[in-house]
Amino acid sequence: MSKAMKKIDYAGAVPPMPEHFLKTIEHTLKEAETMRLKKRAKLTASLAAALTAALLLAGIAYAAARSGLIGRIFTRSAPSSEAREMVRPVNKTATGERFAFTVNDYLIDGSDLYVDWTVQSLTDEDLMLVASPMQASPETGGLSDPIAPGSLGGQGVRLSELKDGVLSGMNEGHLSQDYSGQPFEVRFQLALVRTSVPAEQTVWENLDSLGEVVERIELSFPVEGGAPQGKRLTEPVSFNREDFALTVTEACFTGVNAQIKCELKWGAPELAGGDLMFQIWIGGQDSGMASMQDDSSVEFWSEGGYGGLPDEFTIVPGMVEYTDQGMRFTPLEGQQMAVRLS
């Protein structure tokens, strides 16, 4: 390899700094100028560390914002243009002595709120990170935040186990049916605890009994109102067939996800729990939506995102046969049920 020096173009190597990081750097520079005669050597190292930390946090937040939220939602299908247009940047950071928490961006589709975030460790101490579930201000009518793997609000995480000191993920909250599109505030609370309690037993509700809480961070940000409502069923639709009656009570396609709920009544008790099942077809093809069926209801939902905004969908009953190759679904002729959306 040649030892000749090569010119390297660093343009674009560092992403644009969010405003709050630039203010942090400016503040540090002013402090350095004021104290440079007294503590010049010490401040040189401190200033370098502060600048490095600010640049690192900005780079991490920028990278997460570029590749995080849409990719986390759409794990099984391509995102729709509508979904991309719903993403709103936040780029807000709360920084403590030992860790920093950044909300990168969010997406609200009228039914659910998705928030992408990043945690950066700033210490070598073996501390446990514990977080509350995502909370929303009262005007939403309530926010259900089911804690999925990788969400804040579940079990704790040791900072020493983070890869490169970074933890990133997404929280998803389901909006109340009473929510009518008004703006609201979202809040996260996080803490670092010195504890020997196993991670799976460290939850926010038990924070005060886990050990010494050495640092807390709280971050709030506003969510815009007027989220698009997508395509919805305006009123229940019923279908009567020889063996069953099906009523579609709810249907919602947001451009991000889809959910359909149905009530089911059988013509005879012995038919319940048999091999008759239902699929959702869109455009003449199986949508791939997951389903859950019992003797009195059928529910469908999208797994890994659904970007379509169809004008209608079709519920297709069929017989299921299990073979060595897996499950085979055979539609019943003339039994399809079309549902219009608006």
Burial class (CB in 10 A: 0-12, 13-18, 19+), 182: middle
Bridge partners for 88 per DSSP = 106
Residue among 155, 73, 148, 74 nearest 114 (CA): 73
Region 315-330: mean pLDDT is: 92
CA 166 vs. chain centroid, Å, equals 17
Find residue 101's DSSP bridge partners: 94, 119
Q: Say whether 231-340 and 76-223 share the same fold.
A: yes
Q: C-alpha angle with apex 230: 265 to 168, nearest 5 degrees?
A: 100
pLDDT bracket for residue 138 (50, 70, 90): confident
Residues paired with residue 116 on neighbouring β-strands, in sequence order: 105, 170
As beta bridge partners, residue 280 has 315
Distance CA 236, CA 259 (A): 14
3-state secondary structure of 42: helix
Q: List, in order, residues 6 or more apart from 332 with CB less than 8 Å away.
A: 276, 316, 317, 318, 319
Full-model pTM: 0.76
99 strand-pairing partners: 121
99/308 Cα distance (integer angstroms): 39
End-to-end CA distance of the chain: 65
The mean of the pLDDT values for the chain is 83
**Residue 320's pLDDT is what?**
92
Confidence check: pLDDT of 25 > 90: no
Architecture of domain 231-340 in this structure: Sandwich (2.60)
Q: What secondary structure letter does DSSP report for 149? A: T
Please give the pLDDT value at position 63. 40
Q: Where are the domains of the chain?
A: 15-67, 76-223, 231-340
pLDDT attached to residue 145: 63
Residue partners of 286: CB distance under 8 A and separation at least 6: 279, 280, 316, 329
| Biggest CA-to-CA distance, the chain | 91
Instruction: Please tell me what DSSP assigns to residue 153.
Output: T
Judge whether residue 332 has pLDDT over 70: yes
> Model confidence over 73-101: pLDDT tens digits?
999 888 988 899 999 999 999 999 999 99
Res 220 pLDDT > 90: yes
Tokens 């460790």 belong to: 121
What string of DSSP letters covers 96-136?
Answer: -SSEEEEEEEEEE-SSEEEEEEEEEE---S--EEEEPPPEE
- Per the DSSP assignment, residues forming a β-bridge with 95 are 100
Please name the residues in contact with 137: beta carbons below 8 A apart, sequence gap of 6 or more. 184, 185, 186, 187
Answer whether CATH 3.40.50.12780 is correct for domain 76-223: no
DSSP conformational letter for 11 = T
